[in-house]
Every structure is written in C-alpha cells, then in structure tokens.
Amino acid sequence: MRRPRLIAEQARHASGLLGRFVAFVMAHETFAVNKRAIDGLDVQLNDHILDVGCGPGRGLAVLAARASKGRVVGADPSALMTEIAVERNQGLVKAHRVDVVIARADALPFADNAFDKALCVHVVYFWENLDASLQEIARVLKPGGRFALVFRTNADEAAVRSFPSEVYRFRCIPEVIAALTESGFAIDITDDDGTEPMLMIASKHGRSRGVS
C-alpha cells in the first residue's frame, strides 16, 4: 500500500502531533537496522560518534553504552525529532555523554576531523544533494574514520512502489558508491546478496590518528 505523502513528509521532517506519532513508529521500526549499522562500526570505548539523521534517538543510548569513555552526538534537521531524542536520552544528556543538535547533513556544525565514527540510517532518500552531504560527513570524520550507511536502493521494488517519489528518492548502488568515493571514502563492506535495506561500511582516506 502506498504511504500518503503527508506521512512521508513527516518522516522527512517531523513536526506537530502527527510528527510525534511518526517518531514513535520510527523508533520501533528502525531500531534493528540501527543496531546493524552500529555493529558495523566496531565502536571502541573512547570513540567520538556522530549519528546523522538520528530521528527519535533510540540508537544514541546504544552508542553511548559502547563508547562509554567517548562522546555521542545526534544530528537531525527536525526540531521535534531532536526534542524527542533529548527526552529519550535525558539522563545521558545531563551527564554530558550524549548531545543532540538541529542540523542538516550538508551543514554540520562541527569542526573538521571531530569524529572517529559516523552512521546514517534511512536518511539518504531525503538529501537534495548526495555529494554535498557525504562530503560534509567526510569533513567531520578523522582520517581513517569509519562510516556506516544503511538505505533501501531502487532495486527494492516494493519500497519504490510504497513511498511517494516526490519525497523519497531511492538511489542505485553505483551512484552511492561513486559519491562516497568522490567524497574521499574507501568502501570496506557492501552487502551484495540483495538484502534490503543494504549496509555499506566505508572509511575516510588517510591514516588514523589513533584512539581519541
């Protein structure tokens, strides 16, 4: 069944009471795939980690538990989503172990080489400029930094039929690989068994400076 455009718009940028409902659904529907991305990052105790498009922030606590001596930041363009993420992780925020900021993927308010790891789950559909967003994520990652990207491709015919094309853009694998490569990433792992959504793990070119 094709999802109404109104619901799809809320997934892209949540607001109001309907946005809160969508956030609740997303927190449950996407947790398993967020965990899959986190597992792919091989998080270390001292890692500084950025969740781009963190949504309701359910994965932030998992990241904080694994990077117990590090720093976890969630970024999302929706003020409502960031509010919900702060509410969900209130104790960790008060303890200065988790931060949540309002930010687009193509305009991240962080210094160069600020993070050891980054992840982005079910968000690339909404980016107007894939290259600009990936280049910005590369900018804030340290040399050798690891990046986990999870998305449904245009080969997932059921997803393409279910979501309005005015809101969701399902990209092909070669397009994403080319954009990652152009942005300074080397592809480490790409699901090649037809699994949807697919997981890509990439590393920023350059030598790691070690554990932060």
- Average pLDDT rounded to a whole number, residues 135-140: 98
Residues 48/25, Cβ–Cβ less than 8 Å: no
pTM over cut 0.85: yes
Mean pLDDT estimate for the chain: 92
Q: Taking Cα atoms as reference points, which of 188, 179, 92 lies closest to residue 137?
A: 179
* Token pair recorded at residue 71: 């720093």
CA distance 181 to 183: 5
Q: What is the pLDDT of residues 52-72, one digit of tens each?
A: 999 999 999 999 999 999 999
Q: What structural domains does the chain harbor?
A: 5-204 (3.40.50.150)
Alpha-carbon separation of residue 26 from 58, 84, 103 (angstroms): 9, 12, 19
Residues 99-119 have pLDDT tens digits of: 999 999 999 999 999 999 999
Parallel, antiparallel, or unpaired: how do β-strands 98-102 and 71-76 relate?
parallel
What does the pLDDT look like over 152-211, one tens digit per residue? 999 999 999 998 999 999 999 999 999 999 999 999 988 767 789 999 999 999 865 443
Q: What pLDDT score does 170 carry?
A: 96
pLDDT at site 1 = 62
